[in-house]
Structure formats: C-alpha cells, structure tokens
Amino acid sequence: MTDLKKRKKRRKKLLKSRLGSVVAAFLAFFVFSALLCGAFVFMCMMIFDMQIESGLDEELAKASYISKSYSSAADEQSAAALLDNSETAYVLCDKNGSIIRQRGDDTRKGKEVKYLFYSSSGADESGLSDEDLVKRYVLYICDDTESDILEIKDDEDSFELDYLNYAERLLTGMNGYGYNDDSEEGGIKDGYEDNAPPKIDDVELIRSNKAFVQIPVWAKLEIPDKGQTLYLRCLITSNTQDVAYLLGMVVFFGAVLILMFIALIVMVIRSIRNIRKMRSLVFTDIKIGCKNWQWFLFHAERIASKRRYAKQGFALVDLEFVGYRRFCACNSVDEGEVILRSVYDKLRRYVDKKELCAHNAEDSFALMIKYTDDSILKNRVDLILSVLGEVVGSSTLAFHAGIYILPAVENGGVFAKRKNVDIESCFNNACTACATLLENEGSGLAFYNEKLIEEQRWIDTVTKMQQSALDNEEFVVYYQPKYDPRTHELRGAEALIRWQSPQYGFITPYRFIPIFEKNGFITEIDHYMISHVARDQKRWLDEGQRCVPVSVNVSRAHFIESDLAEQIRDMVDKEGTPHQYIEIELTESAFFDDKKAMINTIMKLKGYGFAVSMDDFGSGYSSLNSLKDMPLDVLKLDAEFFRGEAADTERGEAVVSEAIKLAKSLNMRTVAEGVEVKEQVEFLASQGCDMIQGYYFAKPMPGDEYRERMIQGKNDGAEG
C-alpha cells in the first residue's frame, strides 16, 4: 500500500470514528428507546395478565368450593338451597345435558377452554384437598357486554386478553364509572352513590367496594357423585385496590424506564460534546487559536475529491512570513504570535467560505483558493500580499507566496472527478515555488511550473548520485593558470571542479555546486579537491616540473569545525606535498560568520606554511573591515570590477587601483580574476597587480593540459 493510500486510510478512519461514534450513539439511542417502550408495553401486558389470572383464580376457588359443598349436601333440597344462596347465576344439567335447575340467563358462548388453576390459599383455608389445588377447569366466554375483553384463540384451546380494550375500560372506570360489586347480576351501575362525578377535593374519589371492570366467565364443574354438571357464572373483578396496585406498578416501572431513557440521552449528548471537543483540539492551532495543518489537509482532500467540484480549479498557496523569526528574536515570541493572529484574521476576510485557510507552520500559512486563470489568481494573491504588508507595517517583514495549480480534469468536454489527490505533495510543490523567493527582499510570488519540476528532479538526482560519484572519482580537477601581467609568466593556478558523469556526461559546476552547498556535501568535495590537488602537485614535483602554488576553495561550512587547519594539514601531508604549493582560498561571505574562529583557523594555516587568500573581494559590503582583522596573504579582485559600460569601467578602475594600493600596504599579493581583454591586462599591469586569472590568458583546463602550461612557463595571452 502506498504512503498516500495509508494517509488517506488514516484520515478516513478518523472521520469514520467521529461520525461513527455519533451515528452509533443515535442508533443506540433509538434502539434503546424502542426497547424501553417495548419493555414498558410488555410489562403492562404482564400486569394485566396477572390481574386477570388472579381474579379468575379467586373466582374458580369460590366455584370449586360451591361445587364441593353441593356434592356433599345431604339431600336435594339442601343442595338446591345452597346453590340459590350463592347469589350467582348457574345452570345445573344432568348427564344427558338437560337442564335440571337454573338461576339467571345462560350466556355461555364459544367453545370450551381448558384453564390450569392453582390455588395458593391452601387446603385448610379453601376447604379443598391437595389434589384439587391444581386442576384443569373448562371455561366458556360469555356473550355479556363485557365479554369482548376476553377472546378465544382460533388455533388453540385457550383465550387471550384484549389489552387495549381492558385498559380503556379501566380508564373509563377511573373517570367515574364502574361496576357495583353488590349487584346481584353484576349489571352496570354508577360507580358513585349520588350518580355524580367525584370532586377534586374528595379524599376518597373511588370507593374500595366499587369495581372498575367485571369480566363474566362460565366455569364447568363436574358432580360425579350425582352424575350432574354444574355451570357457574364467575365475575373477574378489577376493583379500586387492584387498579391502585396496577397503577403503582406501571408508575414504578415507567419511572425506572424514563430515568434510564434520560440517562441515555445525557450519555449521548456528552459523547457528542466530547467528540466535538476532541475534533476541535486535533484541528486547532493552540498557538494562535486558528485552524491548523491537519484541518487543512483533511478538508482540502475532501473538497478536491468531491464530484461537485470537478469543474472547479484550485490553487494551493504556501504563504511564508519572511523575517518572522528575526522579529521574535528582536522582540518576543508573544508579540510575534499577536502578529500571526492579526495576519490570520486579515486572511480570513480575503478567503471565501468555501475556501480554506490555516496556520501551517511557525511562520507560514496554507491557502486553498479557487482558480480560473493565472492573471486573476496573480492579482488576487498580489492584493493579499499588499494587505498583509499593511498589517505588519514594517519594512523588515514581508510575505512570499508559492502557488501550485490543481486544475479541473476535463476529458472530451466532460469534467471528471479527481482521484487519489495527494494534497501533501501538491502543497510541497507550492513550498518549492516559494523557496525560489527566499533570497528576494520584499513580498513576491512564484508559480510552480515544469521548470521547477525539472530543477527539483535534478536536485534529487544529484543528491542520489553524489556519494557514488565521489567514490568512483567522477569529479575531475581542472586548473586555471594565473599569469604575471607584466612578464606573462605562470605564477599560480586555481583548482576548479568538473563532473564527468557516465550517465549525464560533462556537468558544469553551476549545476551541482549550489546543490552541494545546500545539502552540506560541499565539505566532502573540499576534502576531495585538496587531496587530489596535493596528489597532482606531488606527482609533478617528482617529475621535476617547476610547480607554482595552486589555490583550493574551502567552503564556509567548514569553519564550524575547530580542527579545520589540522584536517587540511593532514590531507596534504598524506600526499607528501610541501605546504607552500597549496593555497587555501576563502570566499568573502565566509568572513561574516564566527570571526574569532575564522582568525584562529587562518593563523593555524599560516603557521603550517599555507598561504590564505580572500576570493571575490568587493562582492560584499564588509570587505575593508575583513581586511583589517584577517591576516591574509592574497587578495582576489571580483570580476565584476571589469565589466559594464564605459562610465562604470572608469569608476571600477578607480576602485581597483585603490584596492591594489591597499593590499600592497598590507603586504598582500593581488589577483584579478575574470580578465578577458588586453586593455584590462595593461591597466592592471600599470597598477602593479601581481597576477591575472581569466580567459585572456587561459580557460580552466584538465591536469594534463595544465602540466604542458607549466612546462611552457610563459604565455603571450590573447587565448580567450
């Protein structure tokens, strides 16, 4: 799996974890709510069933007692009196089913239903034997008014309760209507003595002897001793006490369920708030309190990949705050953060809602803005840069903008959805474009283009090849002679490096030296050059040639090493070359670093017998101050003194003349580089310049050709 896919997978996982937690919480909320409601309904149904079964069990116990008493009666007259005194409807049949005796209407209907009865009252209290405590009774549903509460199931020999109907009758009874338990026939009567609804301030709204609901059921009891069958009408009664118990249970369980429901809601809300806090923490730059790089990366990839933005081009802008670190060093980090916050606030005003702006690094911001064409985008970015310049209000602070275009993908007039957009790589290209402006003063912008792509590829190629090229000695030492302008005799040379690559051919130093200086490999090149020049000099001396000192450039990166002088000495000694034939050449910019360390190194080199020269004198702004402090042997005049228009040439000659005089007064030799015409040679000779290096006498050349120049010894010039 590629790094891009891995990164996107991690970001999607972050998104899913955020949304998934919220969705899961809501799903759990609704599922649990449904379960709570279902549990509440199921609980009510169970309570209703228990209520009916309890009432039925009580009525069947009474019916069983009446049947037992009737069976044990001494004679028919006392048995009949017993039935009549029971004050309930009954039907007595013989074994053929003919009615022997009857009290009340016979309202039996439907098929027989077998009901398992268990009496918990005990044999002693009910008068029943232990074997009668558990038995099956045959029941019939009545065709009375209230009989629709119980229904016989078609698929089995049982009945079921109509819960909604039963609940409705209970509520109706609670509102002031019910059945009178004292009614002989169990008919419907008003639940209150004065036939008026109860008052609100009545303590006893519904009296305990009033029944809310009475469900009639016929029980079939066999009288085996007499060969008869007794049908008794039983009334399943729900009175005030029963309803109070029922309501208590419902209220209790309902309260428990409501509390659980509220707890779930609180948990979901807290989870959502925690997720939002975590997301805000991950996507917020703590330093200045704005959106950070992770937020930008996350949303930029989402926007770039959406189908609805397929027609829209975007520009990724790396906005570098030039001079910010210097400002913080001179003032304070807190003041720097205040400026960053002001910059961000101003940026937000110039960025649309559907565009992105975030704090990328300590001194840079990341933008993703809409793109139509280069001119409009350039004008817009120029406006942003000018506005930000007004915000900071300092000539030492500026902004650089590197721009990378993410165009719309069009194929035959159809805009396709972008796939596998790597925002990190795209933004890195914008940073590369911005890096080309680092040497510029003031604000500016640069577009990332194919030239930059090729340059970056070349940098990567050189970086990958540099070590193997050094090991294989692909770097070649070239020499450019230095001649006396008066006698045209060879007085010295400068060692220059070239790269002869098997893959890319001859590579000029301008294509790789700047890269080595940036990545630090230049120190290895310096060692390579000193060793090879010392080796060549030793070989030529052994051949009996009249060698002259050869100057070798040493990068300023070396001067952080306290033992640099010892390193150079050891490398030259390893080749067996006398020190007077090696000259160490330093660029003027190196003198702006640690002056104390520089002076210490120069003194050591001179003590070991090496000559030390300053290259490119006049290209900087502190040359005279450097000459005052540095004990140098040779001064090289910059080639720019000898180029330009006539008027500039005259001014340059005046400066060169005074520089030569100054060097002589400090006991320093002078070398003029970049000399190309005879008039320049004659002028320098007249001013007492010691050596001339340039195309007038010779171009840089390989070692073998330089050896021939040493043999020749003198050059009449005019070769360039």
pLDDT digits (tens, 9 = 90+) for 423-436: 888 888 898 888 88
- For residue 235, which of 87, 130, 370 has the smallest C-alpha distance? 87
**Least confident span in 232-246, 488-502, 534-548, 639-653:** 639-653
Of 643 and 180, more confident: 643
CA–CA separation, 643 vs 677, rounded Å? 11
Is the pLDDT at 689 greater than 50, yes or no?
A: yes
CA–CA separation, 326 vs 328, rounded Å? 5
DSSP helix/strand/coil, 102: strand
**Residue boundaries of the structural domains of the chain:** 24-252, 284-448, 473-705
Q: In terms of pTM, does the model score above 0.75?
A: no
Mean pLDDT computed over every residue of the chain: 79
The C-alpha angle 170, 33, 251, rounded to 5 degrees, equals 35
Q: Tokens standing for 480?
A: 């450019």
DSSP helix/strand/coil, 670: strand
Tokens 């596998």, located at residue: 420
Distance of CA 634 to the CA centre of its chain: 59
> Stretch 476-504: mean pLDDT, rounded?
94
480: β partners:
494
Q: 267 burial class (0-12, 13-18, 19+ CB within 10 angstroms)?
A: middle
Confidence of residue 285 (pLDDT cuts 50, 70, 90): confident
List all residues 6 or more positions away from 199 whose beta carbon is below 8 Å from its beta carbon: none
DSSP helix/strand/coil, 482: strand
CA–CA separation, 566 vs 11, rounded Å? 54
Contacts 24+ apart (CB under 8 A), 501-505: 501/465, 501/469, 501/474, 502/474, 503/465
List all residues 6 or more positions away from 97 whose beta carbon is below 8 Å from its beta carbon: 229
CA–CA separation, 235 vs 183, rounded Å? 11
Structure confidence at residue 192 (pLDDT): 36
Is the pLDDT at 121 greater than 50, yes or no?
A: no
Is the pLDDT at 705 greater than 90, yes or no?
A: yes
Contact, 395 vs 323, CB < 8 A? no
Contact, 57 vs 119, CB < 8 A? yes
Contact, 359 vs 309, CB < 8 A? no
- For residue 548, which of 698, 660, 430, 714 has the smallest C-alpha distance? 714
| Fold classified for 284-448 | Alpha-Beta Plaits (3.30.70)
DSSP for 419-459, written as a single string = -S--HHHHHHHHHHHHHTTTT--S-EEEE--HHHHHHHHHH
Q: Which CATH architecture has domain 473-705?
A: Alpha-Beta Barrel (3.20)
What is each CA distance from 467 to 271, 502, 513, in whole angstroms? 56, 14, 14
Is the pLDDT at 662 greater than 80, yes or no?
A: yes
Determine how many CB atoms are found less than 10 A away from the CB of residue 612.
20
List all residues 6 or more positions away from 556 whose beta carbon is below 8 Å from its beta carbon: 586, 587, 589, 590, 593
pLDDT single digits (tens) 336-390: 888 888 888 888 888 888 899 999 888 889 999 999 888 999 999 999 988 888 8
Of 104 and 157, more confident: 104
Is the pLDDT at 653 greater than 50, yes or no?
A: yes
What does residue 366 show for φ and ψ, rounded to 5 degrees? -115, 130
Of 48 and 657, more confident: 657
pLDDT more than 90, % of the chain? 24
Determine how many CB atoms are found less than 10 A away from the CB of residue 713.
12
CA–CA separation, 643 vs 632, rounded Å? 26
CA–CA separation, 557 vs 21, rounded Å? 54
497: β partners:
477
Determine how many CB atoms are found less than 10 A away from the CB of residue 73.
15
Confidence of residue 158 (pLDDT cuts 50, 70, 90): low
- For residue 434, which of 400, 405, 383 has the smallest C-alpha distance? 400
> Stretch 611-623: mean pLDDT, rounded?
71
> Stretch 195-199: mean pLDDT, rounded?
40
Confidence of residue 394 (pLDDT cuts 50, 70, 90): low
* Residues making up the chain, counted from first to last: 720
Is the pLDDT at 397 greater than 90, yes or no?
A: no
Edge-first strand listing for the sheet containing 356-361: 356-361, 364-371, 313-322, 398-406, 444-447
**Residues of 561-597 as b/e, b for ≥16 C-beta within 10 angstroms?**
eeebbebbbebbeebebebebbbbbbbbebbeeeeee
Is the pLDDT at 157 greater than 70, yes or no?
A: no
Is the pLDDT at 461 greater than 80, yes or no?
A: yes
**Residues of 26-62 as b/e, b for ≥16 C-beta within 10 angstroms?**
eeebeebeeebeeebeebbeebbeebbeebbbbbbbb
Most confident of the ranges 20-29, 252-261, 395-404: 395-404
Structure confidence at residue 481 (pLDDT): 94
Structure confidence at residue 622 (pLDDT): 47
**DSSP character for 312?**
-
CA–CA separation, 77 vs 317, rounded Å? 113
pLDDT single digits (tens) 223-273: 888 888 888 888 887 766 666 776 777 788 778 778 877 887 887 788 778
Distance of CA 386 to the CA centre of its chain: 32
Of 127 and 711, more confident: 711
Confidence of residue 97 (pLDDT cuts 50, 70, 90): confident
Structure confidence at residue 317 (pLDDT): 93
